[in-house]
Copies of this chain bind each other. A is one copy, B any other.
Amino acid sequence: MAAKTSTNGTHHSLPEYIPNRIPDPHYVRILDTTLRDGEQAPGAAMTSDQKLQIARQLAKLGVDVIEGGFPSASQEDFNAVKMIAQEVGNNCDADGYVPVIAALCRCNERDITRAWEALKYAKRPRLMPFIAVSPIHMEYKLNKTKEEVLQIATDMIKFARGLGCTDIQFCSEDAARSDREFLYQILEEVIKAGATTLGIGDTVGITMPFEIRELVAGIKANVPGAENVIISIHCHNDLGHATANTIEAARAGAMQLEVTINGIGERAGNASLEEVVMALKCRGDHVLGGLYTGINTRHLLKTSKMVEEFSGMYLQPHKAVVGDNAFLHESGVHQAGLLKHRGTYEILSPEDIGHEKSNGVNMVLGKLSGRQALKSRLKELGYELRDEEVESVFRNFKAIAEKKKRVTDVDLKALVSDQASHAEPIWKLGGLQVTCGTMGSSTATIKLVTSDGSTHVACSVGVGPVDSAYKAINLIVKETVKVLEYSPSTVTGGTDAIATTRVVIRRENKQSPTPALNGNVIYPTFSGTGEGVDIVTSSVEAYITALNKMLDSKE
């Protein structure tokens, strides 16, 4: 018995692994198919090495079964499954946990043999022969009768048993659209032939939760022997129902759930591991009859990021659980509520999925945010301002928020520095001439005028027009400046429209940094914006504005 902290927060002993039954009736197995069905997402192909890294991470997460691939699809897929079986499939942890390594194969001897060749190195290998069981698939794709499909399935389960495999998941493709009497019949026969898990596929993602419930309940009630095997559910998200269907199947008695990290997969993807697991964690004890998984949710965020990077399947900001916005709050009403009690708008804790511990709530500052939220964020950043100072920063903040979708911490720091400076600009742009292109280095000549009217001219080369102009300015003002951010705006409607350029800078290595209240070091930063039809000139104006603020703050 392996001891782990599982999804519902209490310290469970993980039930012993037996292919066809789970000693604890509340424990739900998680089969992750990121490396097989996930990789089938258009454009998501991964290398063997990336797959091995993901498999290691899935083991850290505590996934019960890792479906590593489809060995007969290509030599590379075979190699990936073999590597995973050899390494991850043998790496027992201190609690005795080691994931089952599984592989998909069509119902033919060649595929099954090939899959077994790759899998057999694992401590717990599982073969997953599949065949379609719906009328439309049998008629058009397989061109076979029900009787033929039934015969092939039972023969191939026996063949897999004959290879020495004792952990066999029969996968019924498109089961959701099957004729139920035929489905019950084929499942009964494969159990007799030696299958230990029954995979039930909603391959096209058409099912509603109450239908999934009936499907699973129907199998339990009508398939002799179903009580001696595990029912597993495999849902797709074409109608946005994959997560709900998976949870509903678990309620109905499917004790293995097939999911992918980030919900990637063919078309609209599969049920998301993180959504299914967090729903069980959040509601398992309350309304889902005590169901729980063995997943260590604190590894979710890292796993999600790894899969996002390797598969190239980037997530939308509002992806549930692991999206960038999943724990962010913007409206004034919500922010005010959160500052009083996090439970008002937060049902999951960001730390539970692996976010770093944060002092406050996760609020985004934008045009809907109020003074309290601004003040609270400034305090977190280490600024303790007087009310009239907050008021001044707030006015400038609102002006920026009207133009910019999201006011970042870099912006806020610049705003605080900005409100401290009031003086006349020290330097004004007197003139600018820049040459650039492919025929040589960019060259900029700049004329700056001081407040007393004296004129300074300098020139510099650089790697581009903006770089050379900034360098020429630095020669005149004699400061070492670091450009933190340079943001030209996107222009809709042509190159002669007015563009705004914004730049954020700080002085480099000259002034000792201000120590903040929270112990972090604050480097004062300064921002400037420039506007115009010439992107180079507006970039220079932005820089001079920021420089003037920086020079003013020294005095």
Q: Interface residues, chain A, CB within 8 Å of chain B?
A: 40-45, 73-74, 76, 106, 136-137, 140-141, 174, 203-206, 208-211, 237-245, 247-248, 251, 262-269, 272, 275-276, 278-279, 282-283, 287-288, 312-321, 323, 325-334, 336-337, 340-341, 343-348, 364, 366-368, 401-402, 405-406, 429, 431-439, 442, 444-445, 462-467, 470, 482-488, 490-496, 532-537, 539
Q: How far is the CB of A86 from chain B (nearest CB, A)?
A: 22
Contact B321 A313 (CB under 8 A): no
Contact A483 B464 (CB under 8 A): no
Q: How far is the CB of A173 from chain B (nearest CB, A)?
A: 9
Instruction: Report which of B267, B328, B434 forms a contact with A436, defined as CB distance below 8 A.
Output: B434
List B contacts of A287 (CB < 8 A): 208, 210-211
**Contacts A204-B346, A244-B244, A341-B136; A487 near B484 (Cβ below 8 A):** no
List B contacts of A539 (CB < 8 A): 495
List B contacts of A267 (CB < 8 A): 318, 325-329, 345
CA distance A429 to B438 in the complex (A): 9
Most chain-B CB neighbours within 10 Å: which of A316, A319, A496? A316
Contact B534 A464 (CB under 8 A): yes
CA distance A248 to B239 in the complex (A): 13
Contact A367 B43 (CB under 8 A): no
List B contacts of A279 (CB < 8 A): 208, 239-241
Contact A239 B535 (CB under 8 A): no
**Contacts A73-B368, A492-B485; A268 near B313 (Cβ below 8 A):** no
Name which residue of chain B comes closest to A324, CB basis: B42
List B contacts of A276 (CB < 8 A): 240
Q: How far is the CB of A130 from chain B (nearest CB, A)?
A: 9
List B contacts of A240 (CB < 8 A): 242-244, 272, 275-276, 279, 320-321
Contact B247 A243 (CB under 8 A): no
**Contacts A140-B344, A266-B334, A341-B136; A317 near B43 (Cβ below 8 A):** yes
Contact B438 A435 (CB under 8 A): no
CA distance A288 to B331 in the complex (A): 35
List B contacts of A265 (CB < 8 A): 318
List B contacts of A347 (CB < 8 A): 204-206, 238-239
Name which residue of chain B comes closest to A136, CB basis: B343
Contact B533 A288 (CB under 8 A): no
Contact A491 B485 (CB under 8 A): yes
List B contacts of A494 (CB < 8 A): 482-484, 486
